[in-house]
Structure 1
Amino acid sequence: MAVNGTNGTNGTNGSHAHVSRPLKAGIFAPIPSFFLPESEDLDIAAFEAHVLRLATAGVGPLIAGSMGEAHHLSHEERVTLIQAARRVLDNAGLTHVPIIAGTGAGSTRETITLCKEAAKAGADYTIVITSGYYAGALAGNKKALKAFFTEVSEKSPIPVMVYNYPGASGGIDIDSDLLTELASECPNLCGVKLTCGNVGKLTRLAATVSEPSFDSLHPRKNADAPFLVLGGFIDFLVPSAHAYGNGAITGLANVAPYTCVKLFELAEASVTDPTVLREAARLQGVVGRADFTIAKYSISGTKYLLEKLYGYGGLPRKPLPPIESYAAQTMWEHPHTQDLVKIERELSGKIH
């Protein structure tokens, strides 16, 4: 997820730096935004600890996404989080780890503004969702949707990823035909996150952009930013690897980063080594079941698990409700959750 010195300011706290952080296939996590219990101000210490925990495990950070409650963050808070992430990564010697920042907003104008602010703060890439407020006018309007992503990508100083999440955009669901057009015609687009969960869409799009001729016919503006096709869930990671998918941006990686990275490694290896496929499928089953179970409890459930496992998490910003105590206990004690926790502790080297 890189921007080099020719594409704008990028570096710690917005300082200009000639740093290349390529966007590579793998596992990325939408990082939660943590809040102090009384004031609901940002809890930067917890945020930095979590970014570092995940990056150490090989998970790339996505700041101010849906899991990060971007809708509840001001422009200034988004900037603060990007700066904090870049600072803690650099201080840990992880200067090569890129940052994706959510920059979706209500209007095209504000979205572009957020892209510029994110780049200045130290983000390497942005991810943009269409606003669902006027979904009635946009959902069936291919021309308007195409114009939105075309203009945003043209005016953003750093590469832009399309975020297709009907559940958070009033039902707007971008089909594979339009995504293919955007990938072909917009050189500053660097991929798509498919939180629609449409495996067929992933297969069609990945088949197109993985063609050897695609890169030569449709070169990217930034050579470090190829067009990646990423799942928005991790429950179909192994099948997507065999269909030329490039990994996933998954909330589950917040809870079990080492497990998610291990699954990606096995999935990739199984493409060329069939002997690995059985183990990849076994772990995919564990992860897929846990993902389905934990996702039901949304942001508050993930934060509860982080509190339980790592000592930080807290509550979402109001009006999002906290998880009810009975629901938290049910989720924690569920066999799917416990199977995941056991594997994560083994892979991370912990003895419990």
Structure 2
Amino acid sequence: MAATTVNGFHPSRSLKPGVYAPIPAFFLPDTEDLDIPSLRLHVVRLAKAGVAPLMSGSMGEAIHLNHAERNTVIKEARSALDEAGLADIPIIAGTGAGSTRETKELCREAADAGADFSIVIPPGYFAGVLASNPKALKAFFTEVADESPIPVFIYNYPGASGGIDMDSDLISELAEHPNICGVKLTCGNVGKLTRIAATVADKSFYSRFPRKNPKAPFLVFGGFADFLTPSTFVNAHGAIAGLANVAPYTIVKLWELSVAALTDPAALGEANRLQAIAACGDFTIAKASIAGTKYLLEKLYGYGGLPRKPLPPIQSDAAEQLWAHPHVQGLVQIERVLSGKS
């Protein structure tokens, strides 16, 4: 992760601007039990490229994991990083659930398992009630953050929360909470991102709203890699992007060029070139969902496997088309160059 000042934040130990990846859950083919060796290998592979892990998120099929399994993937990720000499890499853990009570329980369990931060999605089962009730949503996140032993991210992903799409006013209000440390905007709304980033970039923000953990400021992340460069220019802090599983060196390089371009206009041309490659790859691979990402990991690195049922595997013809797609091949080629494997 970058160790330079980015958009007013001075990184120290834990929460830093940069690139994070929602790590897939890997399963054994015959039993659907967790494939721990593949998980450990993947977490370390990405961390060595400069990508920190988010465990038990949407890509990690958290909805398919029981509490014990969620805790296991956190513990194994922490152990793998520590054994690889990467003890400074933080772990974000998904702790969303259907009720406030269970969400708080998952936050406590994640902290005990070794997570540094939690990320919470609005409960979507009763979205018909909650989507039009910002007071209830604010109360949910406030109560969770009040009682969580680790700082809490807001996860705004309408596609996985029954259509709940929190607006910039509500998220900016929640940013004032001392134990809420950021937002992941998988809604893809750059205007929303701009407004929230402007709020927390104000020089008086932290004096008015100090943090419970001074190493956990409020950071604003896009949920895709396809607008990383423009988001950097409006005071955002990086991305939590599924594409970083497939092309970690590419997305980290894109982030580094985007940051460099803030002070060196000469870097902007290369940043824009790489952003175009990433945006095309992100668009095509995202349409293949979790099964497509796992197929590409299998193709590239020799592990990946299948989603847990009832999610279906990618069909063989669709898999072949995905691999052969110019957007994917363009991304694969630049990743091989940047990783030194061309």
State the TM-score, normalized to the length of structure 1.
0.93
1:308 is matched with which residue: 295, 299, 323? 299
Give 2:94's match in structure 1, choosing from 91, 95, 102.
Answer: 102
Kindly provide the CA deviation profile for residues 25-78 of structure 1, in whole angstroms up to 9, marking residues without a partner as x: 000000000000010000000000000000000001000000000000000000
Find the aligned partners of 2:234 and 2:265 in 1 and give their Cα distance. Answer: 15
Q: Which amino acid aligns with 2:35?
A: D
2:187 alignment partner AA: C
- Within 5 A, what are the aligned runs for 1:14-163? 21-163=13-155
Could you give the per-residue CA deviations for residues 270-323 of structure 1, whole angstroms, max 9, x where no partner exists?
A: 111111111100100000000001100000000000000000000000000000
Contact 1:64 1:78 in 2 (8 A): yes
| Contact persistence 1:25–1:246 (CA under 8 A) | yes
Q: Is the 8 A contact 1:238 1:280 kept in 2?
A: yes
Work out whether 1:218 is the aligned partner of 2:228: no
Maintained 8 Å contact 1:230/1:246: yes
Q: In structure 2, what is the Cα distance between the partners aligned to 1:206 and 1:171?
A: 23
Aligned to 2:331: 340
Q: 1:174-221, CA deviations, whole angstroms, 9 ceiling, x for partnerless residues?
A: 00000111002x100000000000000000000110111111111110
Instruction: Work out whether residues 229 and 246 of structure 1, in 8 Å CA contact, stay in contact via their aligned partners in 2.
Output: yes
SS in 1 for 2:307: coil
Equivalent residue in structure 1 for 2:192, among 201, 210, 216: 201
* Partner Cα separation in structure 2 for residue 131 and residue 179 of structure 1: 16
Aligned length: 332
Unmatched runs of 5 consecutive residues or more in structure 2? 2-11
- Name the SS for the 1:259 alignment partner: helix
Find the aligned partners of 1:256 and 1:248 in 2 and give their Cα distance: 13
Deviation at 1:151, TM superposition (A): 0.3
Distance between the aligned counterparts of 1:46 and 1:21, measured in 2? 27
d(CA) in 1 for partners of 2:298 and 2:57? 20
1:21 Cα deviation after fit? 3.6
Q: Is the 8 A contact 1:21 1:124 kept in 2?
A: no
The amino acid across from 1:29 in the alignment is: A
TM-score by length of 2: 0.96
AA of the residue aligned to 1:106: G
Aligned-partner SS, 1:27 = strand
* Aligned-partner Cα distance in 2 for 1:131–1:145: 9
CA distance in 2 between partners of 1:92 and 1:232 (Å) = 27
Work out the CA distance in 2 between the residues paired with 1:73 and 1:193.
21
RMSD over aligned Cα atoms: 0.9
Q: Greater shift after overlay, 313-322 or 208-217? A: 208-217
Q: Deviations over 1:103-156 (max 9, x none)?
A: 000000000000000000000000000111000010000110000000000100
**Gaps spanning 5+ residues in structure 1: where?**
2-19
Q: Which one-letter code corresponds to 2:117 in the other structure? A: Y
Quick one: distance in 1 between partners of 2:140 and 2:289?
Answer: 29
Aligned residues: percent identity? 70
Alpha-carbon distance, 1:227 to partner:
0.2
Q: Distance in 1 between matches of 2:270 and 2:78?
A: 35
Inter-partner Cα distance in structure 2 for 1:323 and 1:36? 17
Distance 1:89 1:200 in 2: 36
Contact 1:195 1:232 (C-alpha < 8 Å) held by counterparts: yes
User: What's the counterpart of residue 317 of structure 2?
Assistant: 326
Q: Match of 1:272?
A: 263
Note if contact 1:52-1:89 (Cα within 8 Å) is conserved in structure 2: yes
Residue 248 of structure 1 is aligned with which of 234, 239, 242?
A: 239
